[in-house]
Amino acid sequence: MRGRNSASGGWLLVGLIVILSSVFVAMAGVTLALGESRRTISLRENDTEAIYLAQAGVMDALYRFRSGNGVGPLGIDQRVDPGPLPGTSDDDVFILGGQMADSLLVNMKPTTFQADINLPNCSPPRRDRMQNWTIRNVLASGGMSLTIDRIRVNWSPNLGEGVLRIDLNGNNPDWTAPSCSGVPANTDIDLFPNQSIPPMASWNTNRIWFTSNGVMAGKAWIDISFIMSDGTVRTSHWDRAIPANRSADFTIKSVGEVRKGPFPFVTWRRLQAEYRLSGAAITSTGNLLAYQELTTKSP
């Protein structure tokens, strides 16, 4: 009798312990879940901060460019907000980066066309010439040189005209067509040697000769694509009817990085911005045509 009674009391105690333990374990689980939730919120906060840091990088790059100092330096931390621990690398920063085509500014705004240009070696001698467009390396001193490997010219409507000659940075030909019939639209024209433009440099005399005469100025649009030695491409656009659509663009890529915060992880977001000048001068009012978030940190 006694033994059975004691066993019954024991089970009651065990039951209580089990219930309390279950409550304890459940609470611990909920606490962990809340901790994770807090962590997620913090990550989201850092995410938001990071995109605005990236925007700060874009704005800073534009300020430097418009001030005549060039975009950059690339790949170097530029502190926006100091972190809580002086002397460590926990600051909130932006880092500028990009590839060759990003920093090649081809300004099509001042483009003009001249007909009746004498090209004596080809008969008939008088030809169209697209001129006065400029090329600039927007990077600051110490940045990379931009090397143009190939050029492709396209236009519409295409009535069978051809490209005869390309002059970059002066009046001397950098490429001449193998025959007076030129090369058709959208043909890769390989420059030999490649042409490099150092940082901060500007080429103000650039010309393209066509097989036609008095025709090219009437095209709806003409595109010039520059294929750089790293394989990236900058396409510059001339539009006859809408001057605002004539490109004078370059691209800024900026990473915003939050390194401080309640949790020990780094959050980054990368922004790509397309900037267009409204005129020939770099100080003319500019427009940020498009923002795009990139999912890779480089290149």
Partner 1 sequence: MMPHGRVQSPKSEVRGGLLRTTDYGLRTTKCGLTLVELVLTVGLAGILGIPTGLLLSEHLRAAVTSRDSTVAMGLARAETEQLDSLNNFFALPLGTVTIANYQGYPYNLTRTITCQAGNCTSGSSNSQGVKRIVVTVTKAGSTAPLARMTTYRTKHVLFGL
Positions touching partner 1 (CB under 8 A) are 1, 5, 8-9, 12-13, 16-17, 20-21, 23-24, 27-28, 30-31, 34-35, 37-38, 41-42, 44-45, 48-49, 52-53, 55-56, 59-60, 62-63, 66-67, 80-81, 92, 244, 275-276, 283-289
| Closer by beta carbon to partner 1, 69 or else 186 | 69
Quote the least distance from Cβ 270 to partner 1, whole Å.
15
Cα separations (Å) of 74 from 70, 102, 282, 288? 11, 12, 20, 20
Distance from the Cα of residue 162 to its chain's centroid: 31
DSSP state of 74: B
Quote the least distance from Cβ 241 to partner 1, whole Å.
15
CA pair distance 48, 67, nearest whole angstrom: 29
| Closer by beta carbon to partner 1, 35 or else 218 | 35
| Closer by beta carbon to partner 1, 35 or else 198 | 35
| Closer by beta carbon to partner 1, 45 or else 90 | 45
Quote the least distance from Cβ 239 to partner 1, whole Å.
12
Quote the least distance from Cβ 199 to partner 1, whole Å.
19
Residue of 240, 273, 298 lying closest to 56 (CA atoms): 273
| Closer by beta carbon to partner 1, 34 or else 159 | 34
- Which are the contacts of 268, defined by CB distance < 8 A and separation ≥ 6? 50, 255, 256, 257, 258, 297
3-state secondary structure of 234: strand
Torsion of CA 107, 235, 200, 79, to 10 degrees: 110
